[in-house]
């Protein structure tokens, strides 16, 4: 069993922390309980040079940092319709071949980690297939740069239904997506899309795979459900916490029902643009009752430990030194964040962090955390006390 986060970014992507370098990523991945992580941004020459100098090759598609964390070659690209795709590469030579093929189609190949490529989804699929890689939609339902923002089906984008995987994104989960019949044969991924290595970002979503070995080929077999390899768990933050879960104003983040948004011609009372949320987009796409196909693994909803600590300690930011220090103490005491959140007995947590923190983690396990849902580009917020929810943000929805 291995825990894998396929989608992250490097310090060369826009809006990304300068700490997104391999040694830091590897260290933080261990704390999160990951075994393997996507390299991210492997088409960018500067990042690729840093990556190659920081790891050793296990086989053509598998690399290992001295910490023991393994990497496979991945990137995210934006096509000419502003749809984002995750690509997995079988080797460094395949990365180079892809670069050579698209270099005249990308204005920022080596100036941005997530490059733009002036090609359609089906053209990208053809190139990826020729190098024996895999491609699938990133954050498939978000209202800005996703396949279901731009299209109504996989086939409209890729000219085929046979796409091996789809990334759910932070604002959706299996329960939401399995009301769309065309996705019944698609493997769902839960990935962090991390722009920072810190505890509330990297590994906030990951996948647990059953594989014969922790290598690229065996991971691909799990995505394709071959030879007994498979995904056995999707772990993601509660979709209510996602930035685009509900329809909301992109300026003041007031939530709206879709009918109300249409009535106001998609303009908030503050004058801001109202953006359709993932919930309403999936409601438009759904064509069946929720049916989980036999291959679909269980989905566990989590909340980043750092955010639970903020609430329990009565602080305002996950970047607080007190939060960071306590987070590190807990994960070092119990090996990783997943153990702290899901496995470690209350009395052991209490011994390290005190009764308030231990009870907050138990409240999370028992579903007693209250969430003010996200929307419009603002993450949702988790609270231990329901009265802390900003009800005025929901006025347009109720």
Residue 54 confidence (pLDDT) above 80: yes
- Mean pLDDT of the region 236-264: 94
Q: What is the pLDDT of residues 109-119, one digit of tens each?
A: 999 999 999 99
Q: What is the DSSP string of 374-386?
A: -BTTB--EEESSG
Is the CB of residue 230 less than 8 Å from the CB of residue 163?
Answer: no
Q: What is the DSSP string of 164-196?
A: -EEE--TT--HHHHTT-GGGTTSEEE----BSS
Which CATH superfamily, name and number, covers 2-240? Answer: Metal-dependent hydrolases (3.20.20.140)
Q: What is the DSSP letter of 388?
A: G
Among the listed residues 114, 67, 109, 47, the one whose alpha carbon sits nearest the alpha carbon of residue 87: 114
How far is CA 355 from each of CA 12, 61, 118, 358, 360, rounded to the nearest angstrom? 42, 46, 55, 5, 9
Find where tokens 């309980």 sit.
33
Q: Is 169 left (phi over 0), alpha (psi -120 to 50) or beta?
A: left
How far is CA 123 from each of CA 41, 128, 190, 212, rounded to the nearest angstrom? 20, 9, 25, 33
Residue % of the chain over a pLDDT of 90 = 82
Q: What is the pLDDT of residues 368-383, one digit of tens each?
A: 888 999 999 999 988 8
Q: Which residue has the higher pLDDT, 188 or 395?
A: 188
The continuous run of DSSP H or E covering 331 comes out as helix 321-333
- What is the maximum alpha-carbon separation in the chain? 60
Quick check: helix, strand or coil at residue 16?
coil
Residue 76's pLDDT is what?
Answer: 98
Name the average pLDDT for the chain.
93
* Dist CA 131 CA 111 (whole Å): 24
Residue 393 confidence (pLDDT) above 90: no
* Dist CA 268 CA 275 (whole Å): 10
The phi and psi torsions of 41 (rounded to 5 degrees) equal 55, 30
Three-state secondary structure of 195-235: CCCCCCCCCCCEEEEECCCCCHHHHHHHHCCCCCCEEEEEE
Neighbours of 271 (CB within 10 A): 9
Handedness of CA 65, 195, 37, 63 (dihedral sign): negative
Residue 148 confidence (pLDDT) above 70: yes
Domain with CATH 3.20.20.140 in the chain: 2-240
Helical axes 346-353 vs 321-333, angle rounded to 10°? 140
| Burial bucket for residue 203 (CB in 10 Å: 0-12, 13-18, 19+) | buried
Residue 38's pLDDT is what?
Answer: 98
Quick check: helix, strand or coil at residue 8?
strand
Token pair in block for residue 169: 């994104």
């Amino acid at each position: 069993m291995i825990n894998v986060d396929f989608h992250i970014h490097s310090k060369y992507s826009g809006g990304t922390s300068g700490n997104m370098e391999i040694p830091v990523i590897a260290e933080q991945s261990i704390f999160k309980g990951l075994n393997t992580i996507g390299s991210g941004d492997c088409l960018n020459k500067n990042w690729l040079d840093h990556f190659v100098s920081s790891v050793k090759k296990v086989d053509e598609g598998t690399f290992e940092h001295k910490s023991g964390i393994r990497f496979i070659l991945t990137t995210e690209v934006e096509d000419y319709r502003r749809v984002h795709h995750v690509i997995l590469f079988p080797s460094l030579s395949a990365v180079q071949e892809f670069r050579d093929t698209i270099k005249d189609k990308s204005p920022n190949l080596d100036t941005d980690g997530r490059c733009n490529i002036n090609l359609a989804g089906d053209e990208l699929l053809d190139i990826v297939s020729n190098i024996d890689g895999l491609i699938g939609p990133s954050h498939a339902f978000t209202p800005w740069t996703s396949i279901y923002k731009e299209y109504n089906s996989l086939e409209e984008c890729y000219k085929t239904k046979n796409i091996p995987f789809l990334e759910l994104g932070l604002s959706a989960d299996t329960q939401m997506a399995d009301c769309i019949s065309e996705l019944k044969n698609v493997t769902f991924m839960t990935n962090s899309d991390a722009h920072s290595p810190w505890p509330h970002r990297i590994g906030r979503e990951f996948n647990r795979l059953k594989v014969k070995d922790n290598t690229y080929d065996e991971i691909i077999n799990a995505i394709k459900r071959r030879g007994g390899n498979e995904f056995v768990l999707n772990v993601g933050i509660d979709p209510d916490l996602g930035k685009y879960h509900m329809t909301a104003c992109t300026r003041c983040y007031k939530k709206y029902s879709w009918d109300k948004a249409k009535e106001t011609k998609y303009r908030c009372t503050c004058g801001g643009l109202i953006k359709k949320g993932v919930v309403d987009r999936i409601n438009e796409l759904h064509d069946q009752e929720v049916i989980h196909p036999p291959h679909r693994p269980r989905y566990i909803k989590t909340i980043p430990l750092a955010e639970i600590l903020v609430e329990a300690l009565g602080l305002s930011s996950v970047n607080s030194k007190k939060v960071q220090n306590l987070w590190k103490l807990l994960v070092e005491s119990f090996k990783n964040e997943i153990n702290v959140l899901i496995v470690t007995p209350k009395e052991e947590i209490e011994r390290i962090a005190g009764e308030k923190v231990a009870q907050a983690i138990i409240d999370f396990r028992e579903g007693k955390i209250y969430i003010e849902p996200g929307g419009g580009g603002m993450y949702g917020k988790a609270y231990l006390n329901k009265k802390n929810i900003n009800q005025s943000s929901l006025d347009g929805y109720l």
